[in-house]
Amino acid sequence: MHPDFSIDAQGKMIDYARNAQKAGISELCFTTHLDLVPEREHIDGFVRVNGEVHPVDSGWIPDYFEEVIKVQDRFQSKGLLIRIGLEVDYHPAVEHEIDQITSEFPFDYILGAVHSIEGQSIAVPEDCRVLCRDKKPEELCQSYFDLLMQAVKSNLFDSLAHLDLYKRFSYDLYKDQINHAHNKYWEPVCKEIVKQKTAVEINTGNLRKGFSQPNPSEDLLTDLYEAGAEYITVGSDAHHPSLVGYHILEAYRVAERIGFENIYRFVGRSASKAVQFKDSEAVAI
Ligand SMILES: [Zn+2]
């Protein structure tokens, strides 16, 4: 989830933690955005620290750790564990910078995401329209999965965020065609995810935007399961405290229905089982 260090998010970490506790959540991870994509530096390349917006390369990470640690200390005795992570926007030109930042600081969890193609954000409807204007659905899939393949091969990420985000706003243009345009491009990426043992996040953000399935959709998750993937993480992608844990049990149900046996968490960049599905009941461990 994204506290107000992310410029597209609102709310202090403490408010996220309070709401998590009220909702009966026992563990959460902050994953504020780290966007270093050169083509979008002037739009996305910022963070907010104490209400002030700074460039993303302004040395803010110690402030981020300081605030997480304060909230961790306050809530640990109340039964809420708080982890520290980042959601990193992947671009091949900044692999070295991503590696430096994620190695220098003791993060628990690094979530990798492809948010933009050719400088246009696939998470912004107007940008997505510009991007798709002269593209067939297969061409969008080719561009997206080419970047995702590089992200997986870079081995920089513990888990991949909202794996089929490209469908969210291109659906308006392509309708159902976009749901069937991925196979040729997705299949090798799916195999690479299994080979690298990269986790995949089931992200429930789509559900609050009127879609019936989280990202990725069940057909992609089924492909992953059948290819031998094991590591599934979950995220509500909350950008406001009121959305902490939004429909997270739906993500559990999807994973279990497909056949996955566990939901994983990352601590100190290592995966361990957070939830085990037993006798049709999710057991937190
Ligand atoms: Zn994202």
In a domain, 269, yes or no: yes
In a domain, 126, yes or no: yes
Average pLDDT in the 197-208 region? Answer: 94
Whole-prediction pTM value? 0.94
CA of 144 to the centre of ligand 1 (A): 14
In a domain, 40, yes or no: no
How many angstroms separate the CA atoms of 91 and 22, rounded?
A: 37
Answer whether residue 284 shows pLDDT above 90: no
Query: Which is higher by pLDDT, 162 or 283?
Result: 162
CA of 251 to the centre of ligand 1 (A): 16
CA of 279 to the centre of ligand 1 (A): 33
How many angstroms separate the CA atoms of 62 and 239, rounded?
A: 21
The predicted-structure confidence for 60-102, as pLDDT tens digits, reads as follows 999 999 999 999 999 999 999 999 999 999 999 999 999 999 9
Number of domains in the chain: 1
In angstroms, the Cα distances linking 34 to 37, 48, 60, 80, 256 are: 9, 11, 11, 25, 31
Looking up residue 175, the CATH number of its domain turns out to be 3.20.20.140
**Beta bridge partner(s), residue 199:** 159
In a domain, 108, yes or no: yes
In a domain, 175, yes or no: yes
How many angstroms separate the CA atoms of 110 and 223, rounded?
A: 23
CA of 113 to the centre of ligand 1 (A): 6
What tokens does 239 get? Answer: 């950008």
Q: What residues have a C-beta under 5 A from ligand 1, the ion?
A: 113, 161
**Per-residue pLDDT at 280:** 54
In a domain, 229, yes or no: yes
Domain that residue 279 falls in = 88-284
Nearest to 170 by CA among 211, 112, 218, 224: 211
How many angstroms separate the CA atoms of 162 and 123, rounded?
A: 11
Average pLDDT in the 189-202 region? Answer: 98
